[in-house]
A and B are shown apart, each in its own frame.
Chain A
Amino acid sequence: MVEETAQQIADREMMLRVGRGDQTAFSALYDRLSGPLYSLALKMLGNASDAQDALQEVFLQIWSRARTYDPEKSSVFSWTVLLTRSRAIDRLRARDRRLRVVVGSTADEARTAEATNASTVESAADTANKNDEAAHLRSLLNNLPSEQRQAIDLAFFGHLTHHEIAAQLGQPLGTVKARIRRGLLRLREQFRT
C-alpha cells in the first residue's frame, strides 16, 4: 500500500465531500487544482481559450464523477491531471494535429506569456511557492538522462504513441518503453526525497 502525504489525505477528504454534492468543497478543490491543471492544458493545447474550455470540462467531470474516484488507484491530484490530459488529447485529436512540446522550450514560454493577459493575479507568495515547486520539478526532470526525459516529454505532453516515439527517436520499441518506465519511476523516486 502506498503511503499518502498530508496534502493527499486533505485532497481525498475534499473529494469525498464533493461526491456528496458539497459546493464549498468543490470551490476549495478548484482553488487548489485549477492552477496546475490549467498550466497543463495550456502547455498541451497552446492557447488560453482552448485550455479554459478543457478545464471547464474537467471540473464538470470532477463534479459529476467525484463519487467514482478511487483513492486506491491514484491521488486526487494525479487523477485530475490524467483527466485533464485526456480532455486535452481529445481536443488535439479534434484539431487533427499533434503538438510536440519540449519542456522549457522557448515556444512554451511564448505561449504562456500570451496567456498571461487572461490570467488573474496571484499573490506574490503563491506565485513564488508555485514557481519554486515547478522549478524544483523541472530540475528533477532535467536530472533524468536526456533520453528518458525526451521519451517522457513526447509521451506525456506530445501524446505520441510508443510506436511513434520509437520512430521519431529512431529507437527500438522495447527501448522506448523501458525509457518511459525508468524515467517515470526515477522521477517519482526523486520527487519523494
Chain B
Amino acid sequence: MISEEQQDQAALYVLGLLETHEVAAFESELKANAELRDIARELREAAGCVALTASSRTPPASLKQRIMRQIAITTEEPVLVSPQRAPFGWVPWAIAAGLAVFCGLLALDRVRLERQLADIRAVDPLMQTTFFTLAPSAPAPADAKATVAWQTGRQSGVIRITNLPAPQPGKDYQLWAVDAEHKDPISAGIVRVDKNGVAQVRFKPVEKAEHVKAFAISLEREGGVPKKEGPILLVGSA
C-alpha cells in the first residue's frame, strides 16, 4: 500500500521538484517498491498529458533537416560485402591459420615489450604519462579534438582542446574520467575554451581514478554537475 506522502513525493519526483538529497532516498525506495514504480509511471504519463494542453504548433521544416544532417554525421554507413564463393576454398583457412600463428607471436612480443615498458616507467616519470586522444561526437563540430596527458601516480593531467566553440550561455564543458572501478564517470572539473575554441588546463579528478579507461567532455549546466547529465561532445581512450 502506497501512502499519500509517498504519492506526493512521486509527483514531485516526476516533475523534478524534489530536493537533491530527497531524490537519492526516493530512488532507492522506487527500486524496492514495484507499486510505487507504477504510481511514478502513472504520474509521468499524466505529466505528458499536461504538455499536450499547450497550443498546438509545428516547428519549421528546416529544423528537421538540420537535425537529420547532424545525426547523419555521427552514423557510420555499414559496408555491404557481396557473398562470393572463392575459387580455392582452402585459401581462407590457410590465411586464417597463418594469421593465428602470427597473432600468437605478436602476443608473446607484446608481453615482452610490456615488461620492458613497465621497467622504464618505474625509473622515468615522463614514461608514467598516458596519452588519450578525444574525438568529437555529435553535437560537437567534426574538427573539434582534445588530447589528455594523464599521470595515474600523481592523479593529475593536462588537457588541450582545439576547435571547440564556447558553449551557449548557462552551459559549461565538463571533463570526466571513465574509470574501470567506478560505476559513474568521475568529474575532473570544468574546462573553459577561449574565443578561438582552445583550452589548455591542468586537472585533478574529484575522486581517485587508478584505472582510467577513457576521458570525455560533456556539455553541462553552468558550474558543472556532480553526475554527468548532458551530451558527450568528445570522448577517447588511450
The answer to the question of A115 belonging to the interface, with a C-beta cut-off of 8 Å to chain B, is: yes
Tally of contact residues, B, Cβ under 8 A: 55
**CB 8 Å contact bits of A54-94 with B (1 = contact, 0 = none):** 01110111011000000011110111011011100111011
Judge whether B38 and A1 touch: CB under 8 Å.
Answer: yes
Bound-state Cα–Cα, A141 to B44, Å: 16
Interface residues of A: mostly helix, strand, loop or mixed?
Answer: helix
B11 CB to nearest chain A CB (Å): 4
Judge whether A94 and B63 touch: CB under 8 Å.
Answer: no
**CB 8 Å contact bits of B33-49 with A (1 = contact, 0 = none):** 00001101111111111
Known: A1-B38, A187-B46, A191-B46. A81 touches B67 (CB 8 A): no
Determine the chain B residues whose CB is within 8 A of the CB of A152 once the complex forms.
Answer: 50
Determine the chain B residues whose CB is within 8 A of the CB of A161 once the complex forms.
Answer: 17
Judge whether A60 and B67 touch: CB under 8 Å.
Answer: yes
Determine the chain A residues whose CB is within 8 A of the CB of B112 once the complex forms.
Answer: none
Determine the chain B residues whose CB is within 8 A of the CB of A108 once the complex forms.
Answer: 54-55
B221 CB to nearest chain A CB (Å): 6
Judge whether B16 and A188 touch: CB under 8 Å.
Answer: no
Judge whether B41 and A74 touch: CB under 8 Å.
Answer: yes
**CB 8 Å contact bits of B1-44 with A (1 = contact, 0 = none):** 00010011011101111000000000000000000011011111
Judge whether A185 and B46 touch: CB under 8 Å.
Answer: yes
A105 CB to nearest chain B CB (Å): 10
Judge whether A130 and B42 touch: CB under 8 Å.
Answer: no
List 3 tightest A-B contacts by C-beta distance, closest first: A94-B170, A78-B48, A188-B46
- Taking beta carbons and an 8 Å cutoff, which residues of B are in contact with A? 4, 7-8, 10-12, 14-17, 37-38, 40-61, 63-64, 66-68, 70-72, 74-75, 137-139, 168-171, 221-222, 231-232
Question: 8 extra interchain contacts, Cβ-Cβ under 8 A, other than A39-B56, A140-B49?
Answer: A36-B54, A38-B59, A43-B55, A64-B138, A79-B44, A91-B170, A137-B49, A184-B50
